[in-house]
Amino acid sequence: MSLELDIAVHSVITDRLTVCVRELHGREDGWPVIFLHDELTSSPLFFAAMRALPEQYRPMAVDLRGYGGTDTAPVDATRGLADFADDVRAALDALSLSQVHLVGWSMGGGVVMQMVIDDPSRVLSATLVNPVSPYGFGGTTGADGRLLSPDGAGSGGGIAHAQFVAALAGEDVPEEAPTSPETVFRTLYVAAGWDREHEDTYLASMLSTSVGPDNYPGDWLESSTWPGMAPGARGVLNALAPTHLDLSAFADVQPQPALLWLRGELDQIVSDNSMLDLAQLGALGVLPGYPGPDVAPPQPMLAQTRSLLTAYVAAGGSYSEVVMQGVGHSPHIEATKQFAQLLSDHLAACVPA
């Protein structure tokens, strides 16, 4: 079955930009469940999971700015993920959706947290799927996200591999190359053994990413601190840099939506030993000049998220953490049935009487 067969595509005009929203035909009357994707794909990666949800829900996947069918517009990284959160909220306003369930994957998880911070009363429940650390990606240590260097060295637009970025921009890179989209998807996005169903659609989604200093990966600055690059002020990876992203206010929101944290046991992207964290690559001898773990330890991404959610509970909230065994960074495509059941159970407990 084609992933797009029963998908309706809406171009939602807002005062910010035109947002692409995709949903299932015939499911327009249920509780809205809004899916937000990661930093390198778009909404098609959610279609199978959307289809697997019970009929009382209205699953809708949003393409963030610069991805899929949504307008390309510059990302002001100095606002963290707020540009994305504001875009989604504007689309929900245009669709007259006053209360929604939010599901965010990787960077989309950070967008969900930002949306809860900005307007918690709108959120019936929140689900974070292998979410980015609340203190960004790269350049921090400790459960509280302390910067390794004041300029955020080791994070931002300069951490993306130039050959991979070139492939996203349309340059011909051999499929077997370590930095090809195919290899990145097969080795980092999914765990070994995935059957590659619909892989062409997922790769096309990845290749729809807008590339450049205003979008992916963004600009960057030279740094005197290893590994030699620091975040700029524009683009996606800078929006994820710890000098710009701090979601610690999530712990104190009121009201506090019930939260589900889903993560893949074998995730190599969001991990305490992430294979995209330059400090981890330095520790493994992949990057030269590594100053050692006392100076640049790998970022404890899971510990940072758990610390924030523990504070959320201390402030009166609640969350459940579920580790999906044998699954990597993409539980919704690797184990769709299990993912949809876990999500459905969470949603059922959070629907207003």
Average pLDDT of span 242-250: 98
Q: Quick one: CA dihedral 207, 208, 212, 217, positive or negative?
A: negative
Q: What pLDDT, on the 0 to 100 scale, is given for residue 28?
A: 86
Q: Which residues, listed in sequence order, are joined to residue 320 by a DSSP beta bridge?
A: 260
- Domain assignment present for 16: yes
Which percentage of the chain shows pLDDT scores above 70? Answer: 99
Q: Compute and round to an integer the Cα radius of gyration of the chain.
A: 19
pLDDT of residue 166: 96
pLDDT in tens, 169-214: 999 999 999 999 999 999 999 999 999 999 999 999 999 999 999 9
Neighbours of 29 (CB within 10 A): 8
Residues constituting the chain: 353
d(CA 334, CA 325): 11
Asked, for residue 242, whether it belongs to a domain, the answer is yes
pTM of the full structure = 0.97
Token readout for 198 is 């619909």
How far is residue 196 from each of residues 155, 189, 199, 203, 333, measured CA to CA in Å? 31, 11, 5, 11, 9
pLDDT at 5 over 80: no
Rounded to whole angstroms, the Cα distance separating 5 from 3 reads: 6
Report whether 62 contacts 21 (CB < 8 A): yes
pLDDT at 49: 97
Does any domain span residue 54? Answer: yes
In the structure encoding, which two tokens stand for residue 117, read together? 């911070």
Please name the residues in contact with 261: beta carbons below 8 A apart, sequence gap of 6 or more: 127, 128, 131, 305, 309, 319, 320, 321, 322
55 Cβ contact list (under 8 Å, min separation 6): 27, 30
Q: Domains in the chain: how many in total?
A: 1
Q: Whole-angstrom Cα distance, residue 156 to residue 235?
A: 9
* Residues of the domain holding 230: 7-348
Cβ atoms within 10 A of the Cβ of 124, count? 18
Q: Which helix (DSSP H) or strand (DSSP E) does residue 264 occupy?
A: strand 258-264
Q: How confident is the model at residue 345 (pLDDT cuts 50, 70, 90)?
A: very high
The reply to whether 228 falls in a domain is: yes
pLDDT at residue 1 tops 90: no
Q: Does some domain include residue 1? A: no
For residue 216, give the 3-state DSSP assignment. Answer: strand
pLDDT the model gives residue 2: 72
Full DSSP string of 294-308 = TTSPPP-HHHHHHHH
Q: What is the CATH number of the domain that holds 299?
A: 3.40.50.1820
Examine residue 353 and state whether it is found in any structural domain, yes or no: no
Is 132 within the bounds of a domain? yes
Q: What is the pLDDT of residue 280?
A: 98
Q: Are 19 and 87 in contact (CB under 8 A)?
A: yes
Pick from 218, 211, 200: nearest CA to 170: 211
Q: Residue 180: inside a domain, yes or no? A: yes
Once rounded to an integer, what is the mean pLDDT over residues 305-314?
98
Nearest CA to 78 among 156, 140, 10? Answer: 156
Three-state DSSP at 153 gives coil
pLDDT at residue 127, rounded to an integer: 98
* Beta-ladder partners of 62: 21, 36
pLDDT digits (tens, 9 = 90+) for 253-270: 999 999 999 999 999 999
Distance CA 113, CA 108 (A): 9
